Structure 1
Amino acid sequence: MALLAGVPALAQPPSPPPAAAAPAPLARPFQAATASGAQQFTLANGMQLIVQPDRRAPTAVHMVWLRVGAMDEVDGTSGVAHVLEHMMFKGSKSVPPGEFSRRVAALGGQENAFTSRDYTGYYQQIPAHRLADVMRLEADRFEHNQWPDEEFRREIEVVKEERRMRTEDQPRAALIEQLFAHTFIASPYRRPVVGWMSDLDAMTPDDVRAFHARWYAPSNAAVVVAGDVDPAEVLALAQQTYGRIPARALPARKPREEPEQKGLKRIHFKAPADQAYVALAFHVPRLARVDGLDASDRDALALLALSAVLSGYDGARLQRSLTQGADRVADNAGSDASVVGRGPGLFLLTGVPAAGKRAEDVERALRAEVERVAREGVSAAELARVTTQWAAATVYARDSLQAQAMDLGSNWVQELPLDADERLLRLLRGVTPAQVQSVAARYFGDDRLTVATLVPQPRAPGAESTPPPAAAEGADGRVH
C-alpha cells in the first residue's frame, strides 16, 4: 500500500575494513524494531537510517530517499528536481562523470533513481558484502555532486526528449498533465514532475546546483538498507560514510493549501489520437496519519476502499457495468484514490469510449456508478474481497527486497511509522459499508470536479499510434 548498465569497468581495489576508519559521532536510536525487524536510527547530522534484515539471499538493496520532489520547486524552474536526479550520475570531486554507474556494475550491482512530486530516490541492488562500497559512493555524490556545465547541456537534452516521448507524444499523458494544471491552483501539484518545456529550455546549471545545495541536506534524507545485513554493522558503516556529511539547516517550508473549489471546471484537449479519453478529478481528503485518525483520515480510508470496489480487481463494478455486455459504453474504465502524499488528495475516474459511444457517455456512466454506491451502498462481501487482496499484496511484497525498501522509504517520506503498511491494512479491514456509502455521497459533486476530455484529431500522414514507452534511457545508459 505504500504509496521505480553501463559497460562494466575494471573492479575497484578492495576497500579497507570498517575498523580502519576514524570513529564517527554516535547515532541515537530513533525507534524500536518493528515486528519485521526493521530498525531506525538518527545519525548525529540528522540523517535517518532504516535497516530491514532479510537473510533469505546474500544480497541487499541500498536506497537514499530525500523528502524533496517537484512540489518543492518554484515557478520558472519546474523539472529541476528531476534534472538533478539525472545530474547526480554525472560526477563528484573524486568520481568522474559516468564512473558511478560503471563502478556499481563492476561490483555486480544494478542501480537507478526516481523522482516524484513528493520525493527523490536513488538505489542499488548489490551482493551484500559490497554494501560498504556503494555506501561510500552514494555518500560521496550526496555531499560532493560536481560536474562541468557541458555535462548539464548534454543531459538537459535527454530530459527534454524524455518529456517528448512520455508526455508530449502520448495524448493521454498530456491530457493528465493538463488535468492537474487545471485542478490545482495553489498546490505545487499543478506542475508536472518532468517540468514544462519552456522551463527546461531556460534552465541553467546553477539552477540545478542551487537546488542541490538547498535540499540535499542530511536532515532531509533517509538511507534504507534491506537484505542480508546486520543492523549494527550497517549503522557503523553509515556513521563512517553518511555520518561525516556536515549538518546544515533546511529552508522553511511554507504551507501552500489548495483553496476550496467553487464550481465544475472542464477542459477539452485536442491531440492526434485514435480514441477519445475522459478523466474526472475530484478533490478529496488525504490520509495524513495511521494513528489517532481524524475525520478526514477516516474518509480517506473509505475512499481507498471505494476505489477498490470500483476497479480494484477483475470484474469490479466499473468493468462489469461499463465495459461488458452488448450495450457497453467503454473499452476500459478505472478509478484511483490518490490520498497518500505530501500534497492534497485527488480521486480519479477515467474511461475510453467504446465504438459508437462518446466521451460524454463514459463520463455519465462513471458518475452513475459512484451515485449508485451513494444511493445503494456496497456489500460487506465486496469489502471483504478487496481487503483480502490488500492483505495478499502486503504479504507478497515481502518477497521482494526492493518492495520492502520502497515501502520503508515511502513511509518515511510521508512521516508515517515504519510499519505503516501493516497498520493501514488493519485500518482498511475496519472500514464499513456505511463509511464507503457516506464518502460516495459527499465527495463527488460538481463543486469538487474537474473534467478533462481528449478530443481526437487526425494523425499526420504516415503517423502511427504507438503505446507509451516503458521508460526513457538517459545518456548515461540509465533507465528513467
Structure 2
Amino acid sequence: MDTLCSRMLLFLGLAPFMTLAATPPPTHQFTLDNGLQVLIREDHRAPLVTSHLWFKVGSADEAPGQTGLSHVLEHMLYKGSGKTCADEASRILESIGAEENAFTTQDVTGYHQTLAPRYLGVVFELMADLMSTARLHADDLAREIAVIREERILRTDDNVDAAALEHFTALAHFANSYRTPTIGWMHDLQRVDAGELRHWYESRYAPGNAVLVIVGDVTLAQVQPLAERYFGVLQKRPVPRLLRPVELQLPGERHLTLHRDVATPQLLMAFNLPGLATAKDPHTVHALRLLNALLGGADSARLPKKLELTERVLNHVETRYDERTRGDSLLLLSAELTDPPQADLDEVQARIWQEIEALRSTPPSLDELERARTRLIAQQVYARDSIAKQARELATFQTIGLPWRLLDEDARALAKVTPQDIREAASTWLTRERLSVVHVQKGGGR
C-alpha cells in the first residue's frame, strides 16, 4: 500500500473518533459562596446519576511523620456524624440502591455514589453532613488503624510486587512528596493521633478545597437548588495552598537492587517528566503521551513486540505515563524476565535503551504515530460510555487546578503532535539524568 493511501485510510479511521470527541454533552459549572466548585454534565442515555465529591488532599500533602493521614481520614469518615451513627450513612445509601465507594491517591480523596436521580438529594445531605460534622472518635480510630495496618501488611509488605514498587516510587520521586505511599509508612500508622486527624479533617475538608461533579440523567435546574440547599449552608473556611510536587530539573541517575522472593527477576525504570499541571507547554505532554504509547503503552508497541514476541527475553513489559497529576509525573517501565531467564537484567536494560535511543534519534513513521494516536483518542471516546468515568475525568482536571474544558479539547491537542515532536520529546526527557532503575533479583529478604 503506498503512503498516500495508507494516510487516507488512517484518517478515515480516525475521523469518527474526532467527530465524537468534538461534541461533548452539555456541561455546567458554578461555585457556591463557600467556595465549593460544582460541575454538572448531562447524560440522558440511562436513568442514572453519579455524584463525585473530591477533596484536594492526598498523600503528597502529608509531612514526614504524618504519612497515611488522608487515607485514615477516608476510612473514618463514615464512623458517625451529626446526623448519623457509625456506618449508618452506608446503610442509607444501600437502602436506596446506591453503589458507593471512596478512595485516596497522592493528589485527592474522593467519595462517589451512583444511583437513581430522584435520590440525589439524599446523597447531598449525607455527604454535606459527613464533610462538616464527622465525629472521629479516638476509640473508632484505634480500631480502624488496626484494620489499615493489616491492609498494609496484606497489600504491600507481604506482596512482593507492591513492596518493590513502593521502594521504586520513593527512589524515582527524589525531591518531591509523591515519594510518600498513600497508605502511609507502618511506623507512622502506629502513632496516628486523634487530635492530629481532627486538624487534618477541619483544614482539608473545607468546601473551598472540594469539587462536586455530577454526571447523568439530570439538568442544571434540578441539581443547582439541591447543591445550594445542602452544601451551600456549610461554613466557608480557609483553604490550604494547593501543593504541586515538582522534581529537580536534573535529579541524576539512581539505582537500587532489591532481593525478593520473586519467581523471576524484574526490572523497573522511570523517567522524571512534567505533567499537564507543571509543563511549560502542554504540547510537550501530549507528545510524551504518544511517546509512551509507541514505546510500551500497548501490546503492539515497540518494546512488547521486540522483547516479548520477537526476542522472547521477557514475559511482560509495559510503560505507563499519567499526565493528569497535580505535580510532576513519571514514565514508568516494568518488565519481567522469562523463566528460565534468556538474558540477565543488565542485558535487558541495554536492549530497552536501544529502543529508547531509536526514538531519540529517529522520528517514528506517520503510520505508526497515527495508530497510537487513534488508540488514545478512542479511549477518550469510549470513556463516555460510563458516567462514572466521565465524572472521574472531570473531577481530575478540576482538582489538579486545570479547567475541565481541556478534557473536551484532548483529541484536537493529540492531533497536533508530529513525528518530529516525538523525537524531540524522547531526546529531551528520556535521559539518564532523569532515570531511576530498580533490579529485583531472586533471593530472600524483605
Q: Is the 8 A contact 2:244 2:326 kept in 1?
A: no
**d(CA) in 2 for partners of 1:81, 1:180:** 18
Cα deviation per residue 1:157-207 (whole Å; 9 max; x = unaligned)? 111122112211222211111112122233111111111000001112222
The residue identity in structure 1 corresponding to 2:351 is: A
1:310 counterpart = 2:303: no
Q: 1:421 Cα deviation (Å)?
A: 2.0
Q: 1:256 Cα deviation (Å)?
A: 5.4
Q: Is the 8 A contact 1:171 1:454 kept in 2?
A: no
Residue of structure 2 equivalent to 1:328 = 312
Q: Is the 8 A contact 1:383 1:433 kept in 2?
A: yes
The residue identity in structure 1 corresponding to 2:39 is: I
Residue of structure 2 equivalent to 1:407 = 393
- SS of residue paired to 2:113: strand
**d(CA) in 1 for partners of 2:206, 2:41:** 23
Q: State how 1:424-443 maps to structure 2 within 5 Å.
A: 424-443=410-429
1:90 to 62, 79, 87: 79
The residue identity in structure 1 corresponding to 2:442 is: P
Q: Is the 8 A contact 1:273 1:459 kept in 2?
A: no
Q: 1:244 Cα deviation (Å)?
A: 0.5
2:324 to 340, 346, 349: 340
1:453 counterpart = 2:439: yes
Which has the larger helix fraction?
2
Unaligned residue ranges in structure 1 (runs of 5+): 1-33, 461-480
1:376 counterpart = 2:362: yes
- SS of residue paired to 2:190: helix
- SS of residue paired to 2:232: helix
Residue of structure 1 equivalent to 2:11 = none
**d(CA) in 2 for partners of 1:58, 1:257:** 42
- SS of residue paired to 1:78: coil
Q: Is the 8 A contact 1:279 1:348 kept in 2?
A: yes
Residue of structure 1 equivalent to 2:404 = 418
**d(CA) in 1 for partners of 2:24, 2:241:** 35
- Alignment length, in residue pairs? 422
2:48 to 48, 54, 59: 59
Residue of structure 2 equivalent to 1:396 = 382
Cα deviation per residue 1:219-242 (whole Å; 9 max; x = unaligned)? 111111111112122100000000
- SS of residue paired to 2:89: helix
The residue identity in structure 2 corresponding to 1:311 is: G
1:103 to 92, 103, 107: 92
Cα deviation per residue 1:373-409 (whole Å; 9 max; x = unaligned)? 1122211111111221122222211111111111111
Task: Give the structure-2-normalised TM-score.
Answer: 0.91
**d(CA) in 1 for partners of 2:324, 2:136:** 35
Residue of structure 1 equivalent to 2:125 = 136
Q: 1:117 Cα deviation (Å)?
A: 0.5
- SS of residue paired to 2:425: helix
**d(CA) in 1 for partners of 2:148, 2:230:** 31
- SS of residue paired to 2:409: helix
- SS of residue paired to 2:392: helix
Q: State how 1:30-429 maps to structure 2 within 5 Å.
A: 35-253=24-242, 257-288=246-277, 294-295=280-281, 297-325=282-310, 327-354=311-338, 355-356=340-341, 357-429=343-415
**d(CA) in 2 for partners of 1:255, 1:310:** 28
Q: Is the 8 A contact 2:259 2:444 kept in 1?
A: no
Q: 1:294 Cα deviation (Å)?
A: 4.0
The residue identity in structure 2 corresponding to 1:261 is: L
Q: Is the 8 A contact 2:66 2:188 kept in 1?
A: yes
Task: Give the structure-1-normalised TM-score.
Answer: 0.84
The residue identity in structure 2 corresponding to 1:451 is: V
What is the percent sequence identity of the aligned residues? 33
Q: 1:456 Cα deviation (Å)?
A: 1.8
**d(CA) in 1 for partners of 2:143, 2:167:** 28
